[in-house]
Chain A
Amino acid sequence: QVQLQQSGPELVKPGASVRISCKASGYTFTSYYIHWVKQRPGQGLEWIGWIYPGNVNTKYNEKFKGKATLTADKSSSTAYMQLSSLTSEDSAVYFCARDGHYYGSPFDYWGQGTTLTVSS
């Protein structure tokens, strides 16, 4: 069965960087886009960007350019998101999600979420 397993909660200081992982299993990792979504406490969902592990192409929401960097490791079927120059505004739960393989597909499988807390 398809699973996306994310790394554990992070507590980091302002100005630092953090890398969150999303390990995929149960499907061909290189054939589906992985998206990342941000959810601030008590707030809605915000799309950050996607990576296509097959050719490591990426696309970002303009709002997150310079903040998020998406990478993928085919050998371990793991996608990563690095967030840099962290501030309190980056404190949130971050989800990875797979889309359905075709343009316009919904996000059919989601990771469990990684809670990031930025605090000194």
Chain B
Amino acid sequence: DILLTQSPAILSVSPGERVSFSCRASQSIGTSIHWYQQRTNGSPRLLIKYASESISGIPSRFSGSGSGTDFTLSINSVESEDIADYYCQQSNSWPRTFGGGTKLEIK
């Protein structure tokens, strides 16, 4: 199974700051990584697909980058509504796996 390691576990930032989430894969997966946002008691919501492709309806402050084993999700200017857990997920092979998540807190 492909292991996805997300770091850090918790990020604390002030509104308006730029923040980056890291996801590292245990083996090369090209760009087969997707990012989700999950607010408290909510369902995951797709933010970025295939490492860097944008999703209709998702604010432009969200962006993604990376390939191979190292991937990054960035929020350009954090807003209070961005408080959530963020997960990466690989679709390179079975079983599909998710990272352990990063919790975003607002100072």
- Point out residues on A near B: beta carbons under 8 Å: 35, 37, 44-47, 59, 61-63, 95, 97, 100, 103-108, 110-113
B94, A106: Cβ atoms closer than 8 Å: no
| B95 with A47: CB separation less than 8 A | yes
A106-B45 in contact given A44-B99, A47-B97 (Cβ < 8 Å)? no
- Chain B 79-98, CB-CB to A under 8 Å as 1, else 0, gives 00000000101011011111
Residue B49 CB within 8 A of the other chain:
yes
Contact present for A107 and B95 (CB under 8 Å): no
Q: Chain B contact residues: over half helix, strand or loop, or mixed?
A: loop
Q: Does B43 sit at the interface, judged by CB under 8 A?
A: yes
**8 pairs, CB–CB < 8 Å, chain A vs chain B:** A37-B44, A46-B98, A61-B94, A104-B91, A104-B92, A106-B46, A108-B46, A108-B55
Assembly CA distance A100 to B44 (angstroms): 15
Q: Flag if B32 contacts A104 (CB, 8 Å).
A: yes
One of B43, B45, B92, B100 near A44 (C-beta < 8 A) = B100
- Distance in angstroms from B32 CB to nearest chain A CB is 5
The total of chain B residues at the interface (CB under 8 A) is: 22
Query: Are B32 and A107 touching (Cβ within 8 A)?
Result: no
Whether the pair A110, B87 counts as a contact (CB closer than 8 A) is no
Given contacts A44-B98, A47-B97, A104-B32, contact A113 B43 (CB under 8 A): yes
Interface membership of chain B positions 34-54, coded 1 if the CB is closer than 8 angstroms to chain A and 0 otherwise: 101000000111100110000
With A44-B87, A61-B94 known, 8 other A-B pairs at CB within 8 A are A44-B99, A44-B101, A45-B44, A47-B98, A62-B95, A107-B89, A108-B55, A113-B43
CB-based contact B43/A112 at 8 Å? yes
B residues less than 8 Å from A62 (CB atoms) = 95
Q: Please tell me which one of the listed residues A45, A103, A108 contacts residue B98 in the complex, with CB atoms under 8 A apart.
A: A45
Cα–Cα, bound, A105→B50 (Å): 8
Name the B residues within 8 Å of A59 (CB-CB).
94
Query: Which one, B44, B96, B98, B100, contacts A110 given CB within 8 A?
Result: B44
Contact A106 B98 (CB under 8 A): no
When C-beta atoms are compared, the residue in chain A nearest to B99 turns out to be A44
